[in-house]
Every structure is written in structure tokens, then in C-alpha cells.
Amino acid sequence: MNNLFKALNDPTRRQILDLLRGSDLNAGEIAERFDMTKPSISHHLDLLRQAGLVDATKQGQFINYSLNTTVLDDLLAWLISFQKTGMPTAETSTPEKTPEQTK
């Protein structure tokens, strides 16, 4: 899970994930959308792949990247598990007044 948080921590990697929501792209197509070197983009893609956020498929001389939402689904389920169940409503969370307080 540390790799996942490390991958999501960087704005460039989050932008890459946003791009892949629209369609699968190869590394060159992704690199065209950023003002950085192709090796830097490759590094970001490798970290996303290691975290399980993207799948990489080699087709000829190109590597196509696609979004893998399974890891995000697992993360979301884990985060939701921390949500308290039976949260008090406004009615039940307001303490009743004692007779001294109503005077």
C-alpha cells in the first residue's frame, strides 16, 4: 500500500491517471502532453505500474498503458472501512436538558 500512496502523492502521476481515464495511451502519447523529458515520464509510469494503478502491454515497439481501477477499488473499500457506522443524527446527538438547565 505504500507504493500506492507514493504513486498518488505526485501531481504528474495523478494527471497521467486522469489522461488514462479517457483512453489507453502509449508512453509517447502520454509524454506529448507534458513539458518534461520522456525518461521522466517513463519513471512516473513505472511507479504507477509498480503500484498497480496502470497496466502496461507491449505491442510491437510501443508500450500501451491502461488504467487499472481494481487497486483504487480496494483502496476505497479500505478507506470506507474507517467510516463510523450508526453516526448520531442531530436529534440523538443533542444532550437532553436537565431540569436545572430548563429554568
Span 57-72, pLDDT tens digits: 999 999 999 999 999 8
Higher pLDDT, residue 14 or 85: 14
Question: With bands split at pLDDT 50, 70 and 90, how would you rate the model's confidence at 12?
Answer: very high
pLDDT tens, residue by residue, 75-102: 899 999 998 776 555 554 555 555 555 5
Query: 60: left (phi > 0), else alpha (psi -120 to 50), else beta?
Result: left
Torsion angle of C-alpha atoms 55, 4, 12, 15, degrees rounded to 10: 60
Query: pTM, whole model, 2 decimals?
Result: 0.76
Q: What would the pLDDT profile of 32-55 be if each residue is shown by its tens digit?
A: 999 999 999 999 999 999 999 999
